[in-house]
């Protein structure tokens, strides 16, 4: 049995979309701004969103706060029924205070009503991944449900922004540490699945936006977390549960597999896993102790170290993928 406790997506894109919906429903004129391309040390990546209404109120960020006020002034002077891109030049970057010499190309879109945005919110609440593609010449936008490999795209004539979780985190255990990790992961746009076969832990789970599964750990891994966009964290400190998940997760294509425990405990765990048939090279990719070594003591600090390590490794993986694409 799988029960759904999610009510909406929970990240910076959500804040922008929900605020735009509210403003549109109140009768305001609203412009959506998307970072289309960046050069140099731009503080926000392609796909970053902001929305601004006609009186200059703005939500979200396309430059880390450097040029948002100036963008609000610029937008107020543009024709309404247009979708267009604009490159922030070197001169403008210096004038607006964009740091490190970075440059941006931004797509501006005059939103007409909130119907499509509400559709996005609804579909993401159902844990679907939705791509919104806008044709710049016509301003027409369409939605389609996509898989977790779809990503942001801009080719000069169309811009595609993807909403919804592209990454899934499977937490083995619903204890205090898992609750902190889940909150951070939701803010980072993970879909979070909590595998918890123990009823007493299910009844005390209090983090909305997660899927709760009472499957056995090995079955949960096979259902939810075997591809490269998956993270498996064994956090129960109970070998019967954690090892069951690791037996399936380590040979899989999961991007990251980690387990709670001291260095000594994890060395014993690795030997145990090899002894029951997990290949040595598979066991060696286990992150244990899980997270960055930042001297964490409390559950909240350990959770910070875990998500920080995931950010570090994902960014390194993205950089390697881009380098490979360029060299190819």
- Report whether 232 contacts 245 (CB < 8 A): yes
Q: What is the pLDDT of residues 199-253, one digit of tens each?
A: 999 999 999 989 999 999 999 999 999 888 899 999 998 999 999 999 999 999 9
Q: Does the model's pTM come out above 0.75?
A: no
Helix (H) or strand (E) holding 75: helix 68-76
Q: What pLDDT was estimated at residue 7?
A: 35
For 93, phi and psi rounded to 5 degrees? -60, -40
Is the residue at 319 inside a domain?
Answer: no
State how far the Cα of 54 lies from the Cα of 72, in Å rounded to an integer. Answer: 8
Please check whether residues 8 and 152 belong to one and the same domain. Answer: yes
pLDDT band, very low/low/confident/very high, at 3 (cuts 50, 70, 90): very low
Q: For residue 149, is pLDDT > 70?
A: yes
Q: For residue 121, is pLDDT > 80?
A: yes
Q: For residue 273, is pLDDT > 80?
A: yes
The residue from 114, 140, 163 where one domain ends is 163
Q: For residue 101, is pLDDT > 80?
A: no
Give me the mean pLDDT over the 134-159 stretch: 89
Q: For residue 106, is pLDDT > 60?
A: yes
Range of the domain at 70: 2-163
State the virtual CA torsion across 278, 282, 285, 286 in degrees, nearest 10.
-20
State how far the Cα of 263 lies from the Cα of 47, in Å rounded to an integer. Answer: 39
Please check whether residues 156 and 177 belong to one and the same domain. Answer: no
Please check whether residues 143 and 6 belong to one and the same domain. Answer: yes
Q: What pLDDT was estimated at residue 229?
A: 84
Q: For residue 322, is pLDDT > 70?
A: no
Is the residue at 263 inside a domain?
Answer: yes
The residue from 163, 191, 211 where one domain ends is 163
Q: What pLDDT was estimated at residue 167?
A: 87
Q: Could you please report the per-residue DSSP string of 222-280?
A: HHH--STTEEEEE-S--HHHHHHHHHHHTTS--SEEEE-S-HHHHHHHHHHHHHTT--H
């Amino acid at each position: 049995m799988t029960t759904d406790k999610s009510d909406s997506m929970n990240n910076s894109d959500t804040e922008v979309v929900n605020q735009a919906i509210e403003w549109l429903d109140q009768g305001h004129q609203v412009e959506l701004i998307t970072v289309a391309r960046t050069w140099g040390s731009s503080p926000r990546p392609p796909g970053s969103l902001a929305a601004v209404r006609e009186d200059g109120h703005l939500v979200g960020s396309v430059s880390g706060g450097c040029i948002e006020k100036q963008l609000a002034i610029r937008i107020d002077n543009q024709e309404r029924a247009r979708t267009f891109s604009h490159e922030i030049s070197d001169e403008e970057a210096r004038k607006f205070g964009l740091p490190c010499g970075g440059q941006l190309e931004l797509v501006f879109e005059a939103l007409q009503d909130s119907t499509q945005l509400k559709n996005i919110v609804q579909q993401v609440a159902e844990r679907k991944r939705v791509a919104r593609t806008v044709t710049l010449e016509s301003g027409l936008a369409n939605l389609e449900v996509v898989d977790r490999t779809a990503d942001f795209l801009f080719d000069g004539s169309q811009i595609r922004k993807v909403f919804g979780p592209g990454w899934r985190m499977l937490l083995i255990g619903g204890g205090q540490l898992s609750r902190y990790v889940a909150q951070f992961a939701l803010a980072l746009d993970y879909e979070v699945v909590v595998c918890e076969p123990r009823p007493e832990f299910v009844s005390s789970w209090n983090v909305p936006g997660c899927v709760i599964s009472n499957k056995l750990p090995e079955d949960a891994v096979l259902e939810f977390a075997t591809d490269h966009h998956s993270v498996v964290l064994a956090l129960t400190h109970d070998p019967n549960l954690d090892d069951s998940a690791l037996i399936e997760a380590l040979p899989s294509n999961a991007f990251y597999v980690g387990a709670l425990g001291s260095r000594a405990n994890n060395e014993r765990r690795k030997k145990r896993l090899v002894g029951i048939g997990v290949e040595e090279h598979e066991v060696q990719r286990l992150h244990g102790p899980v997270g960055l070594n930042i001297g964490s003591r409390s559950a909240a600090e350990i959770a910070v170290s875990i998500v920080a390590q995931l950010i570090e490794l994902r960014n390194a993986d993205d950089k390697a993928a881009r380098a490979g694409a360029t060299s190819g």
